[in-house]
Amino acid sequence: MSLAALPAPSTGPGDGILRRQRLRESAARTYARSFPIVPVRANGMTVEGADGRRYLDCLAGAGTLALGHNHPVVLAAIRRTLDSGAPLHLLDLASAEKDDFTTALLETLPAEFADRARVHFCGPAGTDAVEAALKLMQTATGRRGALAFTGGYHGMTAGALAVSGPVSVKEPLPSGGEVTRLPYPYSYRCPFGLGGAEGERMAAVYTERLLDDPSGGVVPPAAMILEAVQGEGGAVPAPDGWLREMRRITAERGIPLVVDEVQTGVGRTGAMWAVQHSGVVPDAMVLSKAIGGSLPLAVVVYREEYDRWRPGAHTGTFRGNTLAMAAGAATLRHVAANGLADRAAVLGARIQAELAELRGRLPVIGDVRGRGLLLGVELVDPEGPSDSCGAHPADPRLAVRVREACLARGLIVELGGRHDAVLRLLPPLTITDEQVRAVLDRLAEAIDAACRDQR
Ligand code: PMP
């Protein structure tokens, strides 16, 4: 589809839809508040609004759209399945589509993990898979609590929220379960005020010593859960060495390690799965978002010795979404066959290098980081006092203005991170060189413009 050839729809219908959305939908609307647009068509990285404007989409379904919107390979898989007459809803019954998806998934996972793994199909969201993983490990170990990290995000259902970090979304609820919060190595705002290799080392030393302290208050937990690159937490990559330390520490103490790859999976970080950078083999991997090829799908994959569930121990009506299995299998195979993880690594490094240069010119850019095409630009107030690591205070108000200035320039970029001051770039892995250029140019212009408005 050539978007250029499309007639521009009138603005009227879009305005009415937005107005009715404001009146009828919940106050918890999120992206809809940041981006008051009504997408009517989308192709690859481009989204067209009802007002005829086009946007480059660096949100891509919060990292879901590995191949962008409506990729031909995904559409063909969906059409083929629809035309085949296969049942679209199957609970957890066997189907050719599920069988094929499982094969495609296991083929992409690290062999030493996949060779002795089981797959549990969950309810369709990432948070469902997190719940399932925690419950599985509680069942297998007979223990209750969990180890989780500052800045982590795992979803909005009770157990997933309990292991997540963001206080603003946890606060109104009673605490969900016994969770021990551990420091995640975030060099720019180091929990120990040290940063770099020393901060990373301390994060591992603290964890090990706490777990071994008989008066440390930590009852042996059912699992440790972590992201290899924190996504919502602000595109914070864990150093590979620290991740290997977490693996050693948990293995030595018989604590299952659950890696949440909901956002980092399917090539996003420059490897098919983010754990592959460090070589760590987890006990379970939580997968969703891109594995459904833009349709809802979530699974937990785990080492078979943890498969201690009784039949029916964890059910759910929507575990057999035939279209998502077909779209997901097509996506996994396309990413693998076309080396899109490697391309994400190359492009991510290029984008980071350019943003680092921009940082030299624009002191409001405090930090540029990420891995592959999971990138973050942390905005700060350079006039504010710096901490012991040299970091200035986060500037969430500037970040909102930059997001608006991006949208005005046809660029969709969402915020995240500890203070909602991190511009998060999650473009499809299919982003072209020209689109990379356009994203960088628009972003630089938007930051410049937002700074000018501030003065
Ligand atoms: N884990 C991670 C790492 C995530 O990024 C997210 C969603 N952003 C989730 C879990 C929850 O997924 P969902 O929104 O599909 O429930």
Question: What DSSP line would sit under 278-316, residue for residue?
Answer: TT---SEEEE-GGGGTTS---EEEEEGGG--PPTTSS--
Q: Is 292 in the pocket of ligand 1 (CB under 6 A)?
A: no
Residue with CA closest to ligand 1 atom 12: 126
The predicted pLDDT at position 11 comes to: 52
> How far, CA to CA in Å, does 357 sit from each of 90, 444, 448?
52, 11, 14
Q: Is 71 in the pocket of ligand 1 (CB under 6 A)?
A: no
CA–CA dist 404, 412 (Å, integer): 9
Taking only the tens place, the pLDDT of each residue in 36-73 is 999 999 999 999 999 999 999 999 999 999 999 999 99
Closest ligand 1 atom to 227 CA: 3
Q: Is 57 in the pocket of ligand 1 (CB under 6 A)?
A: no
CA–CA dist 402, 447 (Å, integer): 5
Q: Is 424 in the pocket of ligand 1 (CB under 6 A)?
A: no
Between the CA of 225 and the centroid of ligand 1 the distance, in Å, is 13
> How far, CA to CA in Å, does 69 sit from each of 38, 57, 109, 209, 385?
15, 9, 24, 47, 43
Residue with CA closest to ligand 1 atom 1: 154
Q: Is 127 in the pocket of ligand 1 (CB under 6 A)?
A: yes
Q: Are 391 and 366 in contact (CB under 8 A)?
A: yes
Q: What does the pLDDT average to over 6-11? A: 43
Closest ligand 1 atom to 128 CA: 16
273 torsion bin: left (phi>0), alpha (psi -120 to 50), beta (else): beta
Beta bridge partners of 17: none
Closest ligand 1 atom to 288 CA: 15
Pairing of strands 223-226, 54-57: unpaired
- The CATH number of the domain covering residues in 15-70+340-454: 3.90.1150.10
Stronger pLDDT, 378 or 5, i.e. the higher one: 378
Domain locations in the chain as residue ranges: 15-70+340-454, 72-337
Q: Is 81 in the pocket of ligand 1 (CB under 6 A)?
A: no
Between the CA of 158 and the centroid of ligand 1 the distance, in Å, is 13
pLDDT exceeds 60 at position 1: no
Between the CA of 27 and the centroid of ligand 1 the distance, in Å, is 20
- Burial label, 27 (beta-carbon count in 10 A; 0-12, 13-18, 19+): exposed
Q: Is 187 in the pocket of ligand 1 (CB under 6 A)?
A: no
Closest CA to 250 of 285, 318, 204, 216: 204
Taking only the tens place, the pLDDT of each residue in 99-151 is 999 999 999 999 999 999 999 999 999 999 999 999 999 999 999 999 999 99
Pairing of strands 257-260, 284-287: parallel
The DSSP output letter for 152 is -
Q: Is 263 in the pocket of ligand 1 (CB under 6 A)?
A: yes
Residue type, 73: V
Q: Is 260 in the pocket of ligand 1 (CB under 6 A)?
A: yes
The helix/strand/coil state of 268 is coil
Closest ligand 1 atom to 232 CA: 5
Buried b / exposed e over 266-276, threshold 16 CB at 10 Å, is: bbbbbbbbbbb
- The CATH number of the domain covering residues in 72-337: 3.40.640.10
CA–CA dist 407, 424 (Å, integer): 14
What pTM was computed for the model? 0.96
State the DSSP H helix or E strand holding residue 423, giving kind and residue range, or none if neither.
strand 422-425
Q: How confident is the model at residue 440 (pLDDT cuts 50, 70, 90)?
A: very high
Between the CA of 22 and the centroid of ligand 1 the distance, in Å, is 25
The predicted pLDDT at position 449 comes to: 97
What contacts 76, CB < 8 A, 6 or more positions away?
330
The helix/strand/coil state of 330 is helix
Q: How confident is the model at residue 170 (pLDDT cuts 50, 70, 90)?
A: confident
At residue 127, φ and ψ (nearest 5 deg) are -65, -30
Q: Is 225 in the pocket of ligand 1 (CB under 6 A)?
A: no
Between the CA of 60 and the centroid of ligand 1 the distance, in Å, is 14
Closest CA to 195 of 398, 387, 409, 2: 387
- Burial label, 387 (beta-carbon count in 10 A; 0-12, 13-18, 19+): middle
The DSSP output letter for 185 is -
Pairing of strands 54-57, 146-149: unpaired
Taking only the tens place, the pLDDT of each residue in 339-394 is 999 999 999 999 999 999 999 999 999 999 999 999 999 999 999 999 999 999 99
